[in-house]
Amino acid sequence: MKKVILSAALLAATGLMSFTFVAQGETVNTSVKASGKIQVKIKNDTGADHKVITSSGGSTSVPNQSGVTTITVEVGDTIFLYDGGKKGAKLFVVEASMDGKTVMLSDFI
């Protein structure tokens, strides 16, 4: 029985040492997000309040002059104006290059 307990303790200690070695190694910078989603920031500089809706169905208010609104979407999603419960005019299609960047609403209206 002592051998089983000693073996289990040795195995656990080896696992912790391996984890410690990885944790002390160099940091790897990755830009791929596990969920496949990106964040796009929208600044409403149009002078009027607007709501936008994504092709996947999420709607977000983009109030006038309130700073920047961040939405989480997938690359290839289309952003539309929200028109009383349905999709209105198409604004733009989300591209990977938009991740973390701010787009001006007036560029698309």
pLDDT in tens, 49-88: 888 888 877 777 777 776 788 889 999 999 898 888 788 8
Closest alpha carbon to 74 in 26, 36, 19, 23:
36
**What's the whole-model pTM score?**
0.62
Q: Write down all domains in the chain, each with its CATH number in brackets.
A: 37-107 (2.60.40)
- Contact residues for 29 (Cβ-Cβ < 8 A; gap 6+): none
Q: What is the DSSP letter of 30?
A: -
pLDDT at residue number 32? 44
The 10 Å CB-count burial string (b at 16+, else e) for 15-51 is eeeeeeeeeeeeeeeeeeeeeeebebebbbebeeebe
